[in-house]
Amino acid sequence: MIVKSVEKKENNTATFQVEIDKAEFDAAVNKAYLKNKKSIAVPGFRKGKAPRMIIEGMYGADVFYDDAVNDLAPEAFSFATEKEELKTVGRPSVSDVNISDDKVLTLSFETALYPVVTLGEYKNLEAPKDNIEVTDEDVDAELSNVLKRNARLVTVERAAADGDTAVIDFDGYLDGEQFEGGQADGHSLVLGSGQFVPGFEEQVIGLSAGDEKDIDITFPEDYHAELAGKAVVFKVKVNEIKESQMPELDDEFAKDVSEFDTLDEYKADLRTNLEKTRETAAQDKFKDALLKKAIENMQVEIPDAMVEEQQDIMINDYSQNLAMQGYSLDQYLGMMGMDVNLFRASSRPTAVRQIESELLLSNVAEAEKVECTAEEIDEEYKRIAESYGVDLDTVKKAVDEETITRDLKLKKASDVIYDSGIATEPVAEEENAETAE
């Protein structure tokens, strides 16, 4: 193979040609013949026994050319990119195929190149950091949430009120016919939760156990199913009304829900945890602002092929996560009223941001000559094993050392940005609103 006329273009793409001599091309054609001959019927020969020249005489000399080219193209591309030291991204394309009279094959490729990054300022950047304050009201609100989580449902003999749980049977009808998915028995509905179609829960309020009622509902126009905009009737029977009763807020409650003996100790712990949570959130927001500034200071032109490749990875990961929950991507998109093209378009900004972040950090790591020791790599393997509750050998088999090293270098590069960052006073809400406008 010979690499010819490599041309790098301004938009992070390159074109080049690879010439493949007659002998190598003929070997690929013969390989294609051997692969396909069993599926070709030739009169006078048993299937798979016809000589290559007979088949070529019947179907044309180029009958096996496409398979031969498809077989040679990946090897030719790899040969050229390695020889010319081209760092490519995305999927390459074969822009032209030429076979000369003397059977020399020339393949023309077009491919996106890994973008060149020019770093700007990434140290000593300034960004606002939120001040942390936890008030008594914040602690009381958290305590109220804990109370609600520990509330118990008690059956009551009265009419249903907002906030109650109504245990109901219901049966939905469209134009006098039952519709699919509109029936249930013994369903527990929290009134005021917005769980059902708008207008349904409001009409259950005031009913008591044993009551029956026809509830008229019109589905919203933007409802994701075929019932959108349709008027239906639900026949509802109330079986039971339950109210949520809160436990007494005292030392006994603190003992029940925590490791502490008194309510005061428990409230102090809630305050500490709130402070830690808010400090972590403030720190993450501060780091994100620093990273955003460093990206803005960087100069880079990201090829579309790189963005599309990242979108493919994101969508594949999303599909796998949905599959673990028993859903397909098509089912999820149907429920959300989206199609694949809209979903893909919505993923583009995130894909671009992820690429920008990785380009920034990998170039900072190079500029700062970041290295990882064997001990650091071992510790990272151990951390992953502990996080996922699996043994160390399993992690080492699943994740190669190159990936671990790369991730550690990116983390160290981010620490260079964060550790030198200068926290300023948070921007007032009014200023944020004006900036957004």
Spatial distance between the Cα atoms of 430 and 335, rounded to a whole number of angstroms: 37
The candidate with the shortest Cα–Cα distance to 116, out of 9, 26, 232, 193, is 9
In angstroms, the Cα distances linking 14 to 93, 108, 112 are: 11, 11, 6
Domain residue spans in the chain? 2-113, 128-150+249-299, 152-245, 300-436
For domain 2-113, give the fold: Alpha-Beta Plaits (3.30.70)
Spatial distance between the Cα atoms of 133 and 129, rounded to a whole number of angstroms: 13
Spatial distance between the Cα atoms of 149 and 153, rounded to a whole number of angstroms: 11
Q: Which residues of the chain register pLDDT less than 70?
A: 224-225, 428-437
**pLDDT at residue 325, as a whole number:** 83
CATH class of domain segment(s) 152-245: alpha beta
**pLDDT at residue 84, as a whole number:** 87
**pLDDT at residue 212, as a whole number:** 95
Q: Per-residue pLDDT tens for 36-89?
A: 888 887 787 877 788 888 888 888 888 888 888 898 999 999 888 888 888 888
**pLDDT at residue 12, as a whole number:** 82
Q: Tell me if 433 sits within 8 A of 138, measured CB to CB.
A: no
DSSP per position, 183-204? EEEEEEEETTS--SSTTHHHHH
Same fold, 152-245 and 300-436: no
Q: Which helix (H) or strand (E) holds 417?
A: helix 401-419
**pLDDT at residue 433, as a whole number:** 47
CATH class of domain segment(s) 300-436: mainly alpha
